[in-house]
Amino acid sequence: MSAPVSWMSRVESYLSYRRRHGFQLTFDATQLRSFARFADEIGMDAHLTVALGVAWARASQRPSPLTWARRVEVLQGFARFCLREDPATEILPHNLFGPAGRRLVPHIYTEAELSSLLEAAKELAPANGLRPATCRCVLGLLAATGLRISEALALTTTDVDLDAGVLLIREAKFHRQRLVPMHPSVTESLSAYARCRNRLVPRPTCARFFLRKWRLSSPGR
């Protein structure tokens, strides 16, 4: 008779399977490993059951229906994976503790609000540093292209083709690359920023297009 497979081993198999399909699962990995430790320590059930899932969900250090619901949501995907090998697996019901998230109503900025943000960025300190130009250019790029902030800040100098007016987004959703065409006015703004950046920081220590070095280095540094 083969030895029982630990919950941690099953969790790691699930995470490897999902990551091979392009999912990062940073939050899920943390939660599922917590579940595995909980289940392995108490030695409860050889199968993933609703009772086991509820016991772990309620064991959270932040006892609230929202936290419990998020834990249940994470377990549902893992349960479907386990069900393929173990027909005794129970899928935790949807909304067992209510919704797992609160969808916020997005704020759509008006032209006037965007103009105010861009003007305010120009006034950032230090006046002779790169910070005002960087913040203004990043805000303008986000408004014009719809990029995520993480995508904009991850751009390298080779990702920004100012001649063709195209951005290469390497770390897009599900790790897929995509090309984003720019309006000529956006390309012109990025070109102006690049000239300012190269003048203020002629020898950058990284290949990022948008630098976070707000001040010029003091002489001798």
∠ at Cα 204 (202, 207), nearest 5°?
125
Q: Is 48 in the same domain as 116?
A: no
Does residue 105 lie in a domain region? no
As a whole number of angstroms, the distance between CA 72 and CA 53 comes to: 7
Q: Which domain holds residue 38?
A: 7-83
Prediction pTM value: 0.58
Among 119-123, 133-137, 169-173, the minimum mean pLDDT is found in: 169-173
**CA-to-CA dists, residue 125 to 73, 133, 193, angstroms:** 44, 10, 17
Mean pLDDT of 164-182: 86
211: Cβ contacts below 8 Å, ≥ 6 apart: 130, 134, 197, 201, 204
What confidence tens digit (pLDDT) does each residue in 75-116 have? 999 999 999 999 999 999 988 887 766 666 788 899 999 999
- pLDDT bracket for residue 221 (50, 70, 90): very low
Of 65, 83, 101, the last residue of a domain is 83
Q: What is the mean pLDDT of the chain?
A: 88
Does residue 221 lie in a domain region? no
Residue 128: CB atoms within 10 A of its CB come to 10
Does residue 71 lie in a domain region? yes
Q: Is 121 in the same domain as 188?
A: yes
Does residue 97 lie in a domain region? no
As a whole number of angstroms, the distance between CA 152 and CA 139 comes to: 9
Q: Is 66 in the same domain as 145?
A: no
Does residue 154 lie in a domain region? yes
Longest dimension (CA), the chain: 74
As a whole number of angstroms, the distance between CA 168 and CA 145 comes to: 12
Structural domain count, the chain: 2
What confidence tens digit (pLDDT) does each residue in 34-58 have? 999 999 988 766 889 999 999 999 9
Place of tokens 């280095």: 217
CATH number of the domain where residue 150 is located = 1.10.443.10
Pick the residue with more confidence: 127 or 152? Answer: 152
As a whole number of angstroms, the distance between CA 35 and CA 150 comes to: 30
Q: Do residues 86 and 4 make contact, with C-beta atoms less than 8 angstroms apart?
A: no
Q: Is 72 in the same domain as 139?
A: no
